[in-house]
């Protein structure tokens, strides 16, 4: 067991697209678990678009990461030392904190994981926050009905891949948008979307062809030019599930959005949501999704980057669409996959 | 009784702000009521912002008015001749059609009015489509709660005046936005809004002062600069009731809207609606509102223009915010107000 806790700190607030110099990698002493706490050795760290907001320091729904602090993040790992009655050395658990190899966290905030039920990394992806995000957005805002056309941007990503598969199960025509031929092939051939469009191509004409009856539900993950191509094709009573706009998170000045005159004429609903507002849906989502993941009916793909030192570069790549599947940093050995 | 039916036809589709030359005033023969129809002598014609969409010819939720046709409009009047069992000469009714002094319409589409219950012109305003619009927008989208701050644009207009009074009755802080000191004085002193801001002034700082706790619900009637001033002040979970954007209806190219990144971060709901989708709410609205109108607890103001020949100029004025209260054209004598 190492003597130190390797951490990534926020050194400087990014101005536009983050650069490696915005982050500092340091070795700190191993944290000491207090009463009721657990020392967790991290195995996988989740990297997610929301983190761009946390390090920006701007007013948002969550407290920003301060300069010099460990960057926020969710971790699965293994208990090294426990001062909580329900956790024991060697237990696998979800709920470690931050871009660091070790964390001392209250046992009350940890969830035990059974590596035999599903790979522990899925607690960061399809059976974790991104999966619940897809479910909550569809259930509370999009409400797609059989026969409707659903368009999903960042379709090969952690949220989009789940959203599209769930909409297919509702009987919808599902059109993905992703970056490049490889991702699009995966989205149609593996995930079973009806079509997938490369956003680097001529999106207007491609959407016209792939969604000839217009678009009823748009699961928005990216913003930018993709949003401007989808918006005019929304049908009357169309719903825009505003999950994220990753392509605009690095803008220094906000970009204009589409004219809202169409929102009046077509009775559109454009609604944002944050998964943490819908934690109450977690049990029903897991009851539905976990068996489908085990049976292989719900598919997922992980993009695993090795080592905490590579977290900043991987995160920058995420903001540029370079990852292919749920982006995860491997922090240490995974004995459950030996 | 005149021998002719005086009509306003659409001569040319307006390019931008309509001009008098877009309209033609003609005398046609009196229409002949068919079986089950009624010949109605119009007394009041309602002029409403939605008509700008009808004469534009663009794709919308309703069939556009074709060139050479009478422009769509709602009329209250008096039965001249009836070929429908339930209507008799002299009856007052709502449901006449178009910018014209007379119309032959199916009795099935007419609603009898009792001039003793309320002035018949209110069937075009506070007890008609505009009143129901205010009610439906608040009930189905805004859902304001006691203590919340509600901002209403075009606050002295037919819809805004009702929306604000209803929100006050829910216990909200209600801030109106209107054009000029006279309208603002009316909105606060007569309608009882907590504040009213002149959109020709410094709206940003005025909103800051009038809505110090931010804005929870925005009843959008105007768009443009007002929308851009209100949007950044919406609170988390804020709702934008997209009723209309009159200041942009004459744009040849759509103007950009606000960045939707805030819709994600703040979980905003931006939703359009059309009153005709909510006709089922009419009975409950009238049951609530009619007694309040009779008692004077719900106030309204009409801007009555005399004579069908003045309809085009009055409509152009409506699009420029020149009317003060519900805009109505008097088509002929009103014996109920004698």
d(CA B192, CA A163): 47
Average pLDDT rounded to a whole number, residues A309-338? 94
CB-closest option in B53, B242, B264 to A260? B242
Contacts of A265 in chain B (CB under 8 A): 53, 60-61, 272
Is B202 inside any structural domain? yes
Flag if B264 and A249 touch (Cβ within 8 Å): no
Which tens digit of pLDDT belongs to each residue from B321-332?
Answer: 999 999 999 999
Q: Does one domain contain both B159 and B178?
A: yes
Q: If pLDDT is split at 50, 70 and 90, which confidence band does A337 have?
A: confident
Flag if B265 and A272 touch (Cβ within 8 Å): yes
Is B94 inside any structural domain? yes
| Mutation to test the B interface, candidates A242, A258, A262, most B Cβ within 10 Å | A242
Flag if A60 and B260 touch (Cβ within 8 Å): no
Which tens digit of pLDDT belongs to each residue from B182-224?
Answer: 999 999 999 999 999 999 989 999 999 999 999 999 999 999 9
Is the predicted pLDDT of residue B59 greater than 90, yes or no?
Answer: no
Is the predicted pLDDT of residue B61 greater than 80, yes or no?
Answer: no
Exposed e or buried b for every residue in A155-188, given b needs 16+ CB within 10 A?
A: bbbbbbbbbbbbbbebebbbbbbbbeeebbebbb
Q: Does one domain contain both B206 and B151?
A: yes
Residue of chain A whose alpha carbon sits nearest to that of B62: A265
A214 touches B at CB < 8 Å:
no
Is B297 inside any structural domain? no
Residue of chain A whose alpha carbon sits nearest to that of B271: A269
Q: Got the DSSP string for A88-144?
A: -TT-EEEEEESSBSEEEEEGGG-EEE-TTTS-GGGGGTTTSHHHHHHHHHIIIII--
CB-closest option in B53, B236, B258 to A257? B258
Is B292 inside any structural domain? no
Q: Chain B: nearest CA to A153, how far in angstroms? A: 15
Q: Does one domain contain both A82 and A113?
A: yes
Flag if B267 and A263 touch (Cβ within 8 Å): no
HSE-up of A7 (CA within 13 Å, CB side)? 20
Cβ(A30)–Cβ(A67) below 8 Å: no
Rg (CA), chain B: 20
A180 touches B at CB < 8 Å:
no
Contacts of B272 in chain A (CB under 8 A): 260, 263-269
Cα torsion through B279, B284, B286, B288, rounded to 10: -150
Flag if B263 and A269 touch (Cβ within 8 Å): no
Strand A102-106 to A37-46 pairing: antiparallel
Task: List, in order, residues 6 or more apart from A65 with CB less than 8 Å away.
Answer: A10, A54, A55, A71, A72
Phi, psi of A262 (to 5 degrees): -65, -30
In which element (H, E) is residue B44 found?
strand B37-46
CATH code of the domain containing B44: 3.90.180.10
Flag if A263 and B277 touch (Cβ within 8 Å): no
Is A281 inside any structural domain? no
B242 touches A at CB < 8 Å:
yes
Is the predicted pLDDT of residue B127 greater than 80, yes or no?
Answer: yes
| Mutation to test the A interface, candidates B60, B237, B248, B265, most A Cβ within 10 Å | B265
CATH code of the domain containing A196: 3.40.50.720
Cβ(A245)–Cβ(A227) below 8 Å: yes
Average pLDDT, chain B: 95
Flag if A254 and B262 touch (Cβ within 8 Å): yes
Is B282 inside any structural domain? no
Q: Does one domain contain both A139 and A245?
A: yes
pLDDT at A338: 67
Flag if A259 and B261 touch (Cβ within 8 Å): no
Structural domain count of chain B: 2
Is the predicted pLDDT of residue A253 greater than 90, yes or no?
Answer: no
Flag if B264 and A243 touch (Cβ within 8 Å): yes
Reduced to 3 states (helix: H, G, I; strand: E, B; else coil), residue A147 is: coil
d(CA B239, CA B246): 19
Flag if A256 and B261 touch (Cβ within 8 Å): no
Flag if B270 and A263 touch (Cβ within 8 Å): yes
Of the two residues A229 and B251, the one the predictor is more confident about is A229
Pick the range with the lowest mean pLDDT from A3-7, A57-61, A114-118, A217-221: A57-61
Q: Does one domain contain both B68 and B142?
A: no
Q: Does one domain contain both B164 and B182?
A: yes
Q: What is the pTM of this model?
A: 0.93
Q: Does one domain contain both A134 and A255?
A: yes
* Of A259, A276, A293, the domain-final residue: A276
Flag if B272 and A267 touch (Cβ within 8 Å): yes
Which tens digit of pLDDT belongs to each residue from A124-172?
Answer: 999 999 999 999 999 999 999 999 999 999 999 999 999 999 999 999 9
Q: Which domain holds residue B209?
A: 129-276
The burial class, CB within 10 Å (0-12 / 13-18 / 19+), for B170 is middle
Q: Does one domain contain both B108 and B155?
A: no
pLDDT at A59: 67
Q: Does one domain contain both A148 and A211?
A: yes
Residues of A (268-327) whose Cβ lies below 8 Å from B: 268-274, 277
Which tens digit of pLDDT belongs to each residue from A294-306?
Answer: 999 999 999 999 9
Q: If pLDDT is split at 50, 70 and 90, which confidence band does B337 have?
A: confident
B228 touches A at CB < 8 Å:
no
A261 touches B at CB < 8 Å:
yes
Residue of chain A whose alpha carbon sits nearest to that of B222: A261
Which tens digit of pLDDT belongs to each residue from A124-136?
Answer: 999 999 999 999 9
Average pLDDT rounded to a whole number, residues A6-12? 97
Is A295 inside any structural domain? no
Q: If pLDDT is split at 50, 70 and 90, which confidence band does B63 have?
A: confident
Average pLDDT rounded to a whole number, residues B163-177? 98
Residue of chain A whose alpha carbon sits nearest to that of B275: A267
CB-closest option in A256, A262, A273 to B267? A273
Is A286 inside any structural domain? no
Flag if B249 and A255 touch (Cβ within 8 Å): no
A60 touches B at CB < 8 Å:
yes
Q: Does one domain contain both B315 and B226?
A: no
CB-closest option in B60, B261, B271 to A245? B261
Flag if A227 and B260 touch (Cβ within 8 Å): yes
Residues of B (137-166) whose Cβ lies below 8 Å from A: none
ipTM: 0.92
Task: List, in order, residues 6 or more apart from A246 with CB less than 8 Å away.
Answer: A49, A52, A154, A221, A222, A223, A319, A321
Q: Does one domain contain both B145 and B248?
A: yes
Q: Does one domain contain both A134 and A227?
A: yes
Write the Ramachandran bin of B192: left for phi over 0, alpha for psi from -120 to 50, otherwise beta.
left
């Amino acid at each position: 067991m190492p003597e130190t806790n390797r951490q990534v700190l926020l050194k400087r607030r990014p101005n536009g697209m983050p650069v490696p110099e915005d982050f500092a990698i340091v070795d700190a002493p191993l944290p000491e678990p207090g009463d009721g706490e657990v020392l967790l050795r991290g195995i996988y760290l989740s990297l997610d678009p929301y983190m761009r907001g946390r390090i920006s320091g701007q007013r948002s729904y969550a407290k920003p990461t301060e300069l010099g602090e460990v960057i926020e993040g969710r971790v699965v790992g293994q208990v090294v030392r426990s001062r909580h009655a329900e956790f024991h050395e060697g237990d696998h658990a979800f709920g470690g904190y931050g871009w660091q190899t070790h964390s001392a966290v209250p046992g009350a905030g940890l969830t035990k994981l059974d590596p035999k039920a599903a790979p522990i990394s899925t607690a960061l992806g399809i059976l974790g926050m991104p999966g619940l995000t897809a479910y909550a957005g569809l259930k509370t805002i999009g409400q797609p009905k059989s026969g409707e056309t659903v368009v999903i941007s960042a379709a090969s990503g952690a949220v989009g891949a789940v959203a599209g598969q769930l909409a297919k199960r509702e009987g919808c025509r599902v059109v993905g948008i992703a970056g490049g031929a490889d991702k699009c092939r995966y989205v149609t051939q593996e995930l079973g979307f009806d079509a997938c469009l490369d956003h680097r191509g001529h999106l207007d004409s491609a959407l016209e062809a792939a969604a000839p009856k217009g678009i009823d539900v748009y699961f928005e993950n990216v913003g930018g030019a993709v949003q401007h191509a989808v918006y005019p094709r929304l049908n009357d009573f169309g719903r825009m599930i505003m999950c994220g706009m990753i392509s605009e998170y690095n803008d220094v000045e906000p970009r204009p959005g589409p004219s809202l005159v169409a929102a009046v004429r077509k009775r559109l609903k454009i609604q944002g949501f944050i998964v943490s507002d819908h934690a109450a849906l977690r049990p029903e989502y897991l009851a539905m999704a976990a068996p489908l993941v085990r049976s292989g009916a719900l598919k997922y793909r992980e993009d695993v980057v090795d080592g905490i030192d590579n977290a900043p570069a991987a995160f920058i790549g995420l903001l540029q669409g370079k990852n292919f599947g749920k982006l995860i940093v491997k922090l240490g050995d995974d004995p459950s996959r030996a």
